[in-house]
């Protein structure tokens, strides 16, 4: 069964998700992709954090800087901010 049939709050298409990934696909094409599995994982993870921050209207660079600073101290990352 298609999910939006059971849940009317869901959109019937995935256009929004495809538009969110468009810049990443273009960058991958221009840059000839990553060379390793680890590089692909790092790239996709970073894009996911940046896009989530953008949707939540949070500065992604401040959040990433905070995560890195805590990691250097051996501490766990902060919870992902809810946004405004």
Residue 84 has what pLDDT? 62
Residue with token string 């060379």: 35
Query: What pTM, to 2 d.p., does this model score?
Result: 0.66
- For the stretch 22-74, pLDDT in tens is 877 787 778 777 788 898 888 888 888 988 888 889 999 999 999 999 999 99
Cα 60 from Cα 62, distance rounded (Å): 6
Residues 6+ positions from 38 with CB-CB distance below 8 Å:
none
Asked if residue 64 is part of any domain, the answer here is no
**In a domain? residue 28:** yes
Domain-embedded: residue 19: yes
State the residue range of the domain holding 41: 3-56
Task: Please tell me the total count of domains within the chain.
Answer: 1
CA-based nearest residue to 54, from 19, 78, 28, 26:
19
Report if residue 37 sits inside a domain.
yes
Contacts of 70 (CB under 8 A, 6+ apart): 76, 77, 78
| Residue 23 lies inside a defined structural domain of this protein | yes
Is 67 part of any domain? no
* Structural domain includes residue 84: no
């Amino acid at each position: 069964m298609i999910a939006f049939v059971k849940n009317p709050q869901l959109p019937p298409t995935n256009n929004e998700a495809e538009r969110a990934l468009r810049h990443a696909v273009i960058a991958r094409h221009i840059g000839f992709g990553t060379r390793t599995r680890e590089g692909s994982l790092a790239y996709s993870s970073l894009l996911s954090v940046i896009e989530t921050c953008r949707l939540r209207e949070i500065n992604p660079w401040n959040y990433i800087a905070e995560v890195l600073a805590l990691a250097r101290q051996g501490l766990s990352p902060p919870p992902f901010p809810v946004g405004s």
